[in-house]
Chain A
Amino acid sequence: MSANNKSMNDLNSSLRGGGSRERILTAVKKNQPELMTLPVVKNFPQGFSSPVEKFSEVLKGIGGSVYEVANYTEVLHILTANFPGANRIMSTVQELSSINKGDTGYEDPHSLEDVDLAVISSPLAVAENGAVWTMDSLVPQRVLPFICQHLAVIVNKENLVSSMHEAYDKIGNADYGFGVFIAGPSKTADIEQSLVLGAHGPKSMTVFLIG
C-alpha cells in the first residue's frame, strides 16, 4: 500500500469517527450517573371551553388569520378575493385544484421559488399554540410551505386537539420523512425587537377550519 493510500485510509477512518465513537461512548458510559427513572408524562388536560375559539385567538395573536367555513366553495371564494394578484397558485388539496394557476410542476424544489400562494391540508392542529401539523406525505415538496409568499392551510375542525401532548398522541409513531408544526407566518424580531412578518418564508398564513 502506498503511503498516500495509507494516509487516505487513516483520514477516512478518522472522518467516520471510528476511534472517536468508541472513545465518546466509553467516556459517557463511565461518567454518567446511576440510572434515574424516566417520568411519566401526564396528559395535562387543558381547560378551554372551546378549542376552536382558543386556536383562533392564539393564531391571530401570532399574526395568522382564521376562517371558520362550512365547505370548500367558501374557501375558494375567500382565497380568490384575498389573493387577486397571485400569478402562481399551487394547491395540494384535491378539492381546491381549480384554484391552481401557472406552472404546476413539483420536480425541482427551486422551481417553486415564484409560488405566490400555496394551499395545503393539515390532519392535526393544536389549540394551545395555534400550530398546524403537516408532513411530507401530504406535501409533494418539503419546501413548499416555506418558499411560498403566502400560505393557506385547510384543517378539519374535528382534527383540532387542545395541547401538544394530545398532538403527539395522535402523531404516534407515524413514519414520516419530514414533519413540521407551523404556527403563523414566518417572522423575525431581530432588528430592535420590532416584529416583522415574512422573514424568509410566507408573509401571511390563513387557516380554514372546515366543518
Chain B
Amino acid sequence: MKKDHAALADKFNQDEPRVDWHDETLWWIRQKRDKAAFGIPEWEELRETASRIKFNVLSNLSQYLEQFEKAALDNGVQVHWAADGEEHNRIVHSILQKHGVDRLVKSKSMLTEECHLNEYLQEHGVEVIDTDLGERIVQLAKEPPSHIVLPCIHWKKEEIGELFHQHLGTPKGNADPQYLTNAARLHLREKFLTRKLAITGVNFAVAETGEMVVCTNEGNADMGAHLADVHIACMGIEKIIPQRKHLGVFLRLLARSATGQPITTYSSHFKKPRKGQEMHIVLVDNGRSRQLGRPEFRNSLKCIRCGACFNTCPVYRRSGGHSYHNAVAGPIGAILAPNLDMKKNADLPFASTLCGSCSNVCPVKIDIHDQLYKWRQVLVKDGYVSSAKAASMKAMAATLSNPALFKIAGKLGRWTIKHAPFVVNNGLNPWFKNREMPEPPKESFREWYQKNRSGTPQPSAGREPQYKEPSKSKIPH
C-alpha cells in the first residue's frame, strides 16, 4: 500500500535536527513575507481586490477563456486545449515530434509536474532539462520538488555539493552556495544555447490581450524562451485574469507573499512570438472544471501559487513537502489533491491542525482551513477514511461547531500541553509521535484579541499568534 501523510511525515521526522532546520528556514521566509506585507498600508485592501477579481474570473471563466484564445490567436500564438494531463502530455510531445526535437529546456511549471510531463517525455526518448536551480537539483537527485516556490528547500548545501560533484564534476567537499550556483550557471547556459525548444509555465494569462506573464528570479524562463525556436507555455485554465491592469494587483501581492521580495526579478509578458519563432499555449483542465462545480471547494481555484500557506503551516514545516505525495504539497495541495483522486489523497485534508494561519496569509483570501475541514466531512461521508480517524473527527467537529466548547477545549489543550505533556505526546496521537510537543502559546488568539481589541488596532496581515513559531530563533544566513 502507498504510504500516507502520517507515515511519510514519520520518516521525515526521524532526523530531528533536520526537521528543526526545515521548520526554522520556512518560518524565516514567512517572517520576510510579514515584513513585506506590513510595509504596504493597503495590503488588506489589495488582498480583497485580488480575491474579488478571482471570484469574477471563476464566475465568468468560459467567456474569459474564449476571449483569451481569440486574442492569443490574433497575436500569432497557437492555442491547444487539453482535458487532462495525458492529453496535455500528448500535445506537447506532438509539437516536439513536428519539429524533430528530442531535447528541451523547461522552466518551473507546477502544472507539468501535476501532469507528470517529464516522465512521459522521458519514456518517449526525450531529454528534459529543468532550468530553475532548485528544480535542477531535485531532478539530478531523481526527486520531485518538495515546495512549489522553493523546490529543494529540504536539501542541505553539503548534499548539493556532493550531488554536483557527481553530476557536474565540482570538487568534492565544496559546498559554497556561490560556487555551486556558478557551476550550475555554466552547466545550464550550455543547455540554453543548444536546445531548440523551451517549455515555460504561466503565472497569469490576460484575457483582454492574450498575453501571459511568467515570473522568475533567475531569468531561466527568458533564457529558454528567447533562445529557442519554439516556445510552449503550459497553463491551467484558472490562470486567466480579465485585464492587463489587474497584473498591477497580482504582481504586488505575489512575490511579497512568496519570499518577501517587492517583486520577482523578472516579470515577463509574452504576447507574440519573436520573428521566426513559434509560440504555443496549452490550456489544461485536468479536474479544474470539476472543482469549479463544487461550491465548497471552488475557491481553491483562486490560488496564485505563492507558497505562503506552505511556509506558515506548522504541519508542512515539520513534515516536509514529500509527505504530501502530490505535485502541489502544503495546505492548498491538500485541497486540490482529493479533487484529482479522492481515494489516493483522502489522508491529506487531515494533515492540518486547522489553525487557520494559511487562510490568514493567503494573498487571494482562500478559506483554506475551512475547505480542509469540509473535505474531511466529504471524505468521511463517502467512506474514504478509517473509522478511528472518523471518530476523532466527529469530536473535533462537535468542538469546532460550538464556540463555547471550542474555547474550553483550547484552554484545556494549552493547559494539558503545559502540565501533562505525556497525555498528548504519546503513541495514540499520530501528530506528536517522535517529537516533543511544541511549547504552547501563553494565550490563544481569542484571549489575545479580547485583551487587545480595546487598544490600538493591530495590523492584521497574517498576525495570529495562536500557533507555534520554531523553538530556536536562529536565522539561516
Contact = CB atoms under 8 A, between A and B. Distances in A.
Asked if A and B bind, the verdict is: yes
Interface in A109-148: 109-110, 113, 126, 128-131, 136, 141-143, 146-147
Contacts of A143: 222-223, 226-227
Interface in A164-185: 164-165, 167-169, 171, 173, 176-185
Interface residues of A, number: 77
A163 interface: yes
B223 A147 contact: yes
A191 B177 contact: yes
B289 A24 contact: yes
A79 interface: no
B453 to A, nearest CB: 27
B280 to A, nearest CB: 11
Contact of B133 (A35, A36, A190): A190
A171 B269 CA distance: 12
B267 interface: yes
A70 B273 CA distance: 38
Nearest to B264: A183
B191 to A, nearest CB: 10
Given A178-B269, A180-B266, A194-B157, A39 B59 contact: no
Interface in B21-44: 25, 28-29, 41-42
Interface string B125-138: 00000011110010
Contact of A146 (B28, B219, B237, B264): B219
Contacts of B177: 191-192, 194, 196
Given A33-B58, A41-B246, A141-B226, A191 B133 contact: yes
Given A173-B244, A190-B132, A199-B181, A128 B189 contact: no
Contacts of A200: 131, 185, 188-189, 192, 218-220, 223
A182 B285 CA distance: 31
Contact of B52 (A34, A36, A62, A164): A36
A181 B266 contact: yes
A29 B46 CA distance: 28
Contacts of B267: 131, 180-181
Interface in A1-53: 11, 14-17, 20-21, 23-25, 27-39, 41-42, 44, 47
A38 B264 contact: no
A179 B226 contact: no
Interface stretch (B77-85, B322-330, B379-387, B433-441): B77-85
A30 B273 CA distance: 34
A145 to B, nearest CB: 8
Interface string B252-282: 1000000101111111111111100000000
Contacts of A128: 252, 262
Given A36-B52, A191-B152, 16 more contacts: A14-B90, A32-B61, A32-B292, A33-B298, A36-B55, A110-B227, A142-B222, A164-B248, A173-B209, A182-B266, A187-B265, A190-B134, A192-B25, A194-B157, A200-B189, A201-B265
17 contacts: A17-B91, A20-B82, A28-B285, A32-B292, A62-B262, A110-B227, A143-B222, A184-B265, A186-B219, A190-B151, A191-B155, A191-B157, A192-B156, A199-B133, A199-B185, A199-B219, A200-B189
Interface pairs A-B: 7 shortest CB-CB: A31-B293, A201-B219, A17-B81, A199-B218, A129-B262, A143-B226, A190-B134
Interface of A: 11, 14-17, 20-21, 23-25, 27-39, 41-42, 44, 47, 58, 62, 109-110, 113, 126, 128-131, 136, 141-143, 146-147, 163-165, 167-169, 171, 173, 176-196, 198-202
